[in-house]
C-alpha cells in the first residue's frame, strides 16, 4: 500500500468501492492527536446470498395457490379458522387439532393502505395497494395486494368493499400468486 505523506488527515474522502485501495493519506510524522482526528475510512462491498427457505408444513397453502385455490386451517376442537395456515391452534392448546379447509374465493376489504415507498425490493412497484381481506366464517385476515382500484383515489369507503381472488398466470410460489380485485 502506498502512502501519501502530503495528505491532510482530517479531510473528507469518498467511500471506497472494492478492495483496490491506494493513496490513503497518512503522514510520515504523525501525532496521536492527528490520528484521533482522522476521518473514518468507509469500505463498501456487496452482500448477497442465495438462501433456501422451506415453507415446511405450510407448503400445501402455496401449492394450492399455484393451482388457483385458497386454503386455510380450522381447529377441530375450538373451530378457530385462519386464512393463513396454522398447523397448531393458537387459540386453544390442543395438539394436532387443525385441519386444512377451503377458503371462500370472495371476501371484503378489512383495511388497506397505498404504499408510495417501500422496502428496496418493492420500490419499483409503488404506488401499490396493500390490503387485509376478511372472509365469511374465517377468524383471521389475509394480507394481499389489491388491484383494480386507483391508488390516487384512496378512500375509507374501500373498507367493506367486496373483492374476489385472482391468481397470477405464472406462479412464483409466493403469497403474491393471489391478489384481490373488486367483485363488480
Partner 1 sequence: MARKKVYMVSGGVSKFTKSRQDRTFQAIVKESYDYALKDLKLPAKQVHEMIDGSTASYFSDHFTRQLMAGIMVQDYLGLTPRPSHRVEGGGATGGLNFQAAWREVASERMNLCVAYGFETMSHVNTWKGNEFIALASDISFDFPVGGFYSGYYAMMVTRHMKEFGTTPEQMAYVSVKNHRNAMYNPYAQKSAKLTVADVRNSPMVAWPLTRLDICVMSDGAATTLLADEDTAFQLTDNPIEITGVGTGTDAMRMADRPHKDVVLAPNEKAEDYVGDQFHGGKLKYPGIHSFRAGRTAGNMAYKMAGITNPLKELSFVELHDAYTSSELQTIEDLALAKYGDAGKFMESGAAFMPNIDYGLDFTGEQGTLPINPSGGLIACGHPVGATGLMQAVFAFWQLQGSQPRHFQAMGMDAEKAKVLQLEDPHKGAIHSHAGTGTYVTVSILERPKGQELEFRR
Q: Which is nearer to partner 1, 110 or 166 (CB)?
A: 110
**57 counts as binding partner 1 under rule CB under 8 A:** no
Say whether the peptide bond before residue 127 is cis (omega within 30 degrees of 0). Answer: yes
**143 counts as binding partner 1 under rule CB under 8 A:** yes
- Tell which one of 40, 49, 96, 169 touches partner 1 (CB under 8 A): 40
CA 32 – CA 148 distance, rounded (Å): 65
Site of grid cell 381472488: 165
Residues 6 or more apart whose CB falls under 8 angstroms from that of 173 comprise 55, 62, 65, 66
- Tell which one of 39, 76, 102, 183 touches partner 1 (CB under 8 A): 39
Strand partners, 180: 146, 165
**168 counts as binding partner 1 under rule CB under 8 A:** no
Q: How far is the CB of 136 from partner 1 (least distance, A)?
A: 13
**167 counts as binding partner 1 under rule CB under 8 A:** no
Q: Which is nearer to partner 1, 5 or 143 (CB)?
A: 143
Q: Which is nearer to partner 1, 7 or 88 (CB)?
A: 88
**174 counts as binding partner 1 under rule CB under 8 A:** yes
CA 106 – CA 164 distance, rounded (Å): 4
Task: Give buried/exposed letters for 35-59 (b at 16+ CB in 10 A, else e).
Answer: eeeeeeeeeeeeeeeeeeeeeeeee
Residues that bind partner 1 (CB under 8 A): 39-40, 42, 47, 53, 55, 58, 80, 82-84, 86, 90-91, 110-123, 125, 128, 130-132, 139-145, 154, 156, 159, 174-176
Amino acid at each position: 500500500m502506498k502512502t501519501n505523506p502530503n495528505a491532510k488527515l482530517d479531510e473528507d474522502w469518498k467511500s471506497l468501492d472494492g478492495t483496490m485501495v491506494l493513496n490513503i493519506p497518512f503522514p510520515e510524522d504523525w501525532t496521536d492527536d492527528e490520528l484521533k482526528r482522522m476521518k473514518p475510512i468507509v469500505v463498501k462491498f456487496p452482500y448477497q446470498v442465495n438462501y433456501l427457505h422451506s415453507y415446511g408444513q405450510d407448503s400445501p397453502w402455496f401449492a394450492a395457490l399455484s393451482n388457483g385455490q385458497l386454503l386455510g386451517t380450522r381447529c377441530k376442537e375450538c373451530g378457530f379458522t385462519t386464512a393463513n395456515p396454522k398447523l397448531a391452534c393458537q387459540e386453544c392448546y390442543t395438539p394436532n387439532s387443525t385441519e386444512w379447509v377451503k377458503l371462500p374465493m370472495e371476501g371484503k376489504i378489512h383495511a388497506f393502505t397505498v404504499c408510495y415507498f417501500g422496502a428496496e425490493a418493492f420500490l419499483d412497484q409503488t404506488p401499490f395497494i396493500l390490503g387485509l381481506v376478511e372472509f365469511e366464517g374465517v377468524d383471521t385476515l389475509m394480507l394481499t395486494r389489491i388491484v383494480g382500484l386507483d391508488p390516487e383515489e384512496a378512500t375509507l369507503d374501500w373498507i367493506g368493499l367486496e373483492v374476489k381472488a385472482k391468481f397470477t398466470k405464472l406462479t412464483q410460489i409466493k403469497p403474491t400468486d393471489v391478489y384481490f380485485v373488486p367483485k363488480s
